[in-house]
Structure 1
Amino acid sequence: MTTAPGRERLVLVVACLAQFMVVLDVSIVNVALPAMREALGFSAVGLQWVVSAYTLAFAGFLLLGGRAADLFGRRRMFLVGLALFGAASLVGGLADSPGLVLAARAAQGLGGAVLSPATLTILTTTFAEGAARSRALGAWAAIGGVGGAVGGIAGGLLVHFLSWRWIFLVNVPVVLLTAGLAVLAISETRAENRPRLDTGGALLVTGGLVAFVHGVVSSESAGWGSPLTWGSFVLAVVLLAGFGLLETRISSPLVPLGIFRVRTVSVANATMALIASAMFAMWYFVSLHMQNVLGFDALAAGLAFLPQSGSIVIGSQLSSRLLGRVGTRPLLVGGAFLTAAGFAWFSLLTPESTWVGGVLGPGVAVGLGMGIALTPLAGAATSGLPRDRAGLASGLLNTSRQVGGAIGLSVLSTLATARAATLTAEGATTAAASTAGTTRAFAVAAVAVVLAGLVASLLPRTSPPAREAPEPVDEPSAARP
């Protein structure tokens, strides 16, 4: 496919703008959580679900969104995702109850699940494999990575100068701008034939993830042996097993299991899930620690994320420049271990630690490591695959990010809450109990990212050629533009 350089640059801007907005909304709410709790009466568990409702809906329907981009057209699904995301953002900004906010967050996640894989599909079908695609993926990864950290800054500014409602409402004009640019820049591709989408599979996997997270969250208050807790886990196993069985029985599965025979795909997705399990929780815990223990207001907490945001950008750009010379595996393994070192450093926080002495250094280390790791991850997950699998591969990678993030947040938050509750019952101060819970979460996160580095070491030295990718099974090929 040949695209004029000016059009390519505009396509890159559109894809990165959409990805930035989608990833930003994972973390932008963190700084606003105290204000939302005060305004609408959220409980502590309810606050966690403000984050989890988005990530679970996002994760559960990403695969469906990836296939839809392949089958029904990348531009069409990009615009559909934008419309869903913008409408849900408007509802969230006008919500007057916790339930309506959670519903809007879930609807945002659904819109993001359609939008995000379309962005990567657009890039992989616009830029030829090689240096041009590496640079485009580097920019995409940098924007996605910095979106999470910038969420804290944006949230702080909006809450301080306007209100928590603007963390939703700010998306509306951005959606309109992005949609206008997309109509001008993006040409259409779609499959010649349109098999029925596997909506049953999407519902099963989403229900299974929600049940699993509900079980983890319930364990903190009801206990691991309660019927509510183990019943949720049993339901999760049944639904996820049903999903796996369904995928082997239908002609157009949501996830053709043969794609995991490509080692780069399976390793990249496992690595992404482990890194994201720590990454999402970090924004949540650091934001609450700065406000609840260090006494920062929303604006100060948001601005305190600036060095971390910059380190993600630096790491991503460094990684994209070195990728062709160093290769995927060294960058990914090195980035993961640097990130793990940052989390281990975070676990040394005390109630007396200042921002400079306890948060700045580990935050920069984690951000730099993430930036280095994210670019080769995006390339590994999509290299060597035929064009009609681009949406599926991007959907898988984004699903791994969101599934890992949702599960990691629920597990680490439960561990932190349990530790803080125990120390509070023993007479510890609120600051000491909260910090002890946070450091326990960071120690576990460090272990998870070390595991990510070990998994990443299983990548081959070079990406497998396209002929090693599994042949499509019962799937139409996408028409070229």
Structure 2
Amino acid sequence: MPVTETSLPTGTPPGPGPLENASRTLAAAAAAPADVRLTPRAKLILLLLCAAQFIVALDFSILNVALPVLGRDLGMGQADLQWAVTAFALPSGGFLLLSGRIADLFGRRKLFLIGLALFAAASVLAALAWSPTAFLAGRALQGLGAAIIVPTGMSLLTTTFAEGPQRERALGISGTLLSMGFTIGMVLGGVMTDVLGWRSTMGLLSAAGVAVLAAAPVLLTESRPQGPDGPQRARIDVPGAVTVTGGLLSLIYALSTAAAQGFGRPDVLVTLIAGVALLAAFVRVESRADQPLVSLPMLRRRTVAWGNLAGLTTFAMMSTVVFLMTLYLQEVLRLSAFRTGLLFGVQGVVSAFAGLVAPKVIGRLGARRTLLTGLLLQAGFTAALLGLGTGSGMWLALIGVTFASLGHLWAIISYGVTATSGVPDAEQGLATGLVTSSQQVGITLGIPLLSAAASAHIAALRAGGSGFADATLGGIKLGLGLDAALVAVVTLLVTAGLRTVRTTRRG
């Protein structure tokens, strides 16, 4: 029996339509006509939910520029610094889908509050850490809190805002802030580390989490799946939860460890094979489950499948560009954390502008063309970064990252429209859940995947006699080249897939 989502605002949702209709809908949302304007309470709820997503995005990147300082303070070796990122990425990516299903059982608002409380407390532990073990424990608990906050927050968003212009505007704002949070985290991390020390970054996250936690009970109401006879309790797909959580944990561990230690370690090979096997088993389990964690029939919709592939790719590859460019600016050009953060601040300003104009661009070009244009811009300006050198390159880095980010923001907002286009209202919760998963899995997997390749190449170049700067630049360029190539290939695939959708519907 299909499950519908409860929604606070009332209204008549538009019926399913092609991508062009979705584009016109988003353009109408940007114009904010009277019948879709948000009430003051709805604006506060949107601000609250976006703030929670923004804090999580900050946590993905705020420590990146602080890692060298953090390592010296806690006595962590260079090879161990990757665990500052991995300890957060493992639970945040591995438990994402399971947390969303548990929220269906016990209430999204309730679990959202639990996630916020856990995140804030874990941030305090990380800020006060007296040893590497205490710090990594705090990071892991932060990741678990994030895995709860993200799906429950997105579910609360989609059940609060009616399908159509309201929901699409809310999703656009949320996606933009999620991406901007990663960039702004780089800026804040650099400035705060230089001025106040790396512990202040964790303190900021804790304070922000407490502020959102204080406001959430006042603004949010409980939300559960709704059946024809009232609230409907979902069942946890235990085999699906075990296989997908185990698969993601294994895969993230393998890629993260390989980034620091290489692919030759036995534990890397074992967990890599186990991760692939468990995810394959997950697909089989979901095809037979009555209430699956991921709806495979939903993924057979071309707009959903190709839209989410584009979303996963743009998030994974852009987060990797920012990570690699941080390494370039600090390790090759020897810029301070403060100056590195300021350079990424320019990217943040352009990202904000791109998010503001994206609805108008979609209204003029359509969601499909805007998505493809954004992906092409991201791929092209990432490829331009291959011209970086060891003695200069700051301006090329600034221009390349900035305009790649502009394309990235356009891709984010248009893929959200694409991936929910033509989906019946009763299945919008599933569609938006997939959008959320694409974002988080992309951010989680991108950096370990390509930094593993970059690190291995750096080690090979150093073994061959190259100097530190030349070897580091060589590894960074390999990562950037793979990044640009992957985005370009996915752009071609999405172009072909969505062209088929358009042709079929017209025929």
TM-score normalised over the length of structure 1: 0.89
Closer/same/farther in 2, CA of residues 107 and 221 from structure 1, 3 Å limit: closer
Range moving further from structure 2, 221-230 or 168-177:
221-230
Distance 1:220 1:74 in 2: 36
Q: Is 1:275–1:452's contact at 8 Å kept on the other side of the alignment?
A: no
Three-state SS of the structure 1 residue aligned to 2:388 is coil
Name which of 371, 375, 378 aligns with 1:332: 371
Distance 1:187 1:342, change over 3 A: same
Q: CA deviation at 1:224?
A: 4.8
2:130 pairs with 1:96:
yes
Matching of residues 376-387 of structure 1 within 5 Å:
376-386=414-424
Equivalent of residue 202 in structure 2, options 159, 168, 183: 168
Stretch of structure 1 that moved more, 74-83 or 439-448: 74-83
3-state DSSP of counterpart to 2:221:
coil
Q: Distance in 1 between matches of 2:265 and 2:417?
A: 44
The answer for the alignment partner of 2:31 in structure 1 is none
**Residue 369 and residue 87 in structure 1: after superposition, are their counterparts in 2 closer, same or farther (change >3 A)?**
same
Unaligned runs of 5+ in 2: 1-7, 11-37, 226-230
Match for residue 479 of structure 1? none
Q: Which moved more, 1:289-298 or 1:26-35?
A: 289-298
Task: Give how far 1:69 is off.
Answer: 4.1
Q: How far apart, in 2, do the equivalents of 1:434 and 1:262 lie?
A: 43
Residues 1:182 and 2:200 aligned together: no
Instruction: Give the secondary structure class of the aligned counterpart of 2:294.
Output: coil
- After superposition, where does 1:305-344 map in structure 2 within 5 Å? 305-344=344-383
Match of 2:275 among 236, 244, 254: 236
Instruction: Give the aligned partner of residue 166 of structure 2.
Output: 132
Distance 1:5 1:216, change over 3 A: closer
Counterpart AA for 1:65:
S
Q: Which residue type is aligned with residue 338 of structure 1?
A: L
AA aligned opposite 2:327? L
- Is the deviation greater in 360-369 or in 394-403? 394-403
Stretches of structure 1 that go unaligned for 5 or more consecutive residues are 469-481
The answer on whether the counterparts of 2:89 and 2:252 sit within 8 Å (CA) in structure 1 is: no
**1:49-448 pair list within 5 angstroms:** 49-191=83-225, 192-217=231-256, 224=263, 227-356=266-395, 358-386=396-424, 389-448=427-486
Question: 1:70-125, CA deviations, whole angstroms, 9 ceiling, x for partnerless residues?
Answer: 44433223212211211221221122222332332222222112211233323322
Question: Partner letter of residue 400 of structure 1?
Answer: S
Q: Is the 8 A contact 2:260 2:455 kept in 1?
A: no
Contact 1:93 1:165 in 2 (8 A): yes
Q: Distance in 2 between matches of 1:50 and 1:388?
A: 40
Contact 2:390 2:470 (8 Å CA) reproduced: yes
Q: Structure 1's 82 and 222: CA in aligned 2 closer, same or farther, altered over 3 A?
A: closer
Pairwise CA distance, 1:378: 2.0
* Inter-CA distance 199–87: structure 2 relative to 1 (3 Å threshold): farther
Alpha carbon RMSD of aligned pairs, Å?
A: 2.6
- Given that 1:380 and 1:463 are in contact with CA atoms closer than 8 Å, whether structure 2 keeps it comes out as no
CA contact (8 A) 1:57 1:110 kept: yes
1:162 CA displacement? 1.5
TM-score normalised to the size of structure 2? 0.84
* Equivalent residue, structure 1, for 2:67: 33
Q: d(CA) in 1 for partners of 2:238 and 2:119?
A: 19
Q: Displacement, 1:261?
A: 2.0
The CA distance in 1 between the partners of 2:42 and 2:201, in whole Å, is 31
Contact 1:383–1:463 under 8 Å retained in 2: no
Residue type matched to 1:343 in 2?
A: T
Do 2:61 and 2:185's aligned partners in 1 also have CA atoms closer than 8 Å? yes
Question: Distance in 2 between the 1:291 and 1:320 partners?
Answer: 36
Q: Structure 1 stretch 414-423 or stretch 328-337: which is displaced more?
A: 414-423
Aligned equivalents of 2:355, 2:497: Cα separation in 1 = 20
Deviation of 1:219 (Å) = 5.1
Question: After the TM superposition, which of the residue ranges 306-315 and 194-203 deviates more from structure 2?
Answer: 194-203
Q: 1:223 to 1:71 in 2, by over 3 A?
A: closer
- Count of residues in Structure 1 that have an aligned counterpart in Structure 2: 464
Q: Secondary structure at the match of 1:197?
A: coil
Cα pair 1:70 1:391 within 8 Å, conserved? no
Contact 1:56 1:206 in 2 (8 A): no
Name the aligned partner's letter for residue 84 of structure 1.
L
More moved, 234-243 vs 213-222: 213-222
